[in-house]
Amino acid sequence: MKLFIDSGDVDEIREAQSMGAIDGVTTNPSLLAKAGRPTKDVITEICEIVDGPVSAEVIATDTQGILREGRELAKLHPNVVVKVPLIKDGLKAVRTFTDEGIKTNVTLCFSAPQALMAAKAGATYISPFVGRIDDIGGDGMELIGQICTIYDNYDLETEVLTASIRHPQHFLQAALIGSHVATVPFNVIVQLLQHPLTDKGLAKFLEDAKKIPQG
């Protein structure tokens, strides 16, 4: 399973990249607003840090507006993936982007039928939001399983990108189910490395190392 970082903070992205495990980046307007810089500047800098897909989201909600914004974003760098909302006008734009060779990430997916429609439109990635489904009493990981099964049934090329991950268990479940990608906030990436037995074992090794005679 590929690991993307979900962030608009270039310092976080650079730190995650230095760990050697990051395959790409997802951003959204909320994350980029925290950066306090023009979107194009931040996306360009991110593309220079991570050599992999970098999702940049359009703001428009009409087909022509989405196409206009998406084409401008795609010109920034070959690694840019245009992030499009899962609405009727969005899927119309996705079909055009696909015909033009522009990669897309269809976002705000909350049902398997939505995911199937996005795949039929030619989406490169589909982003189901598991955490937000859990927040309203649903089962976000069940949705990931449904989408993976449907895509496998029909050999659809769209990749399942598990999003809105809140904790390491979401990440583990996504990997077990067979999600192609998980996009994870920096704090959760750090949590993936943590285990109390690792800390305990390291402390023991370091303590014992002090007892080794120095030659």
Closest CA to 2 of 30, 34, 24, 26: 24
In 68-210, the DSSP E strands lie at: 80-85, 104-109, 125-128, 159-162, 181-184
Q: What dihedral do alpha carbons 96, 101, 105, 109 form, nearest 10°? A: 40
Which residue segment(s) compose the domain that 165 sits in? 2-209
Give how many domains the chain has, as a whole number.
1
**In this structure, is residue 214 part of a structural domain?**
no
Catalytic, out of 2, 34, 83, 204: 83
Residue 197, pLDDT score: 97
**In this structure, is residue 215 part of a structural domain?**
no
CATH code of 44's domain: 3.20.20.70
pLDDT band at 121 (very low <50, low <70, confident <90, very high): very high
Mean pLDDT for 136-150 is 98
Above pLDDT 90, what percent of the chain?
97
Please confirm, yes or no, whether 83 is among the known catalytic residues: yes
* pTM of the full structure: 0.96
Look-up: residue for tokens 């990931």?
A: 144
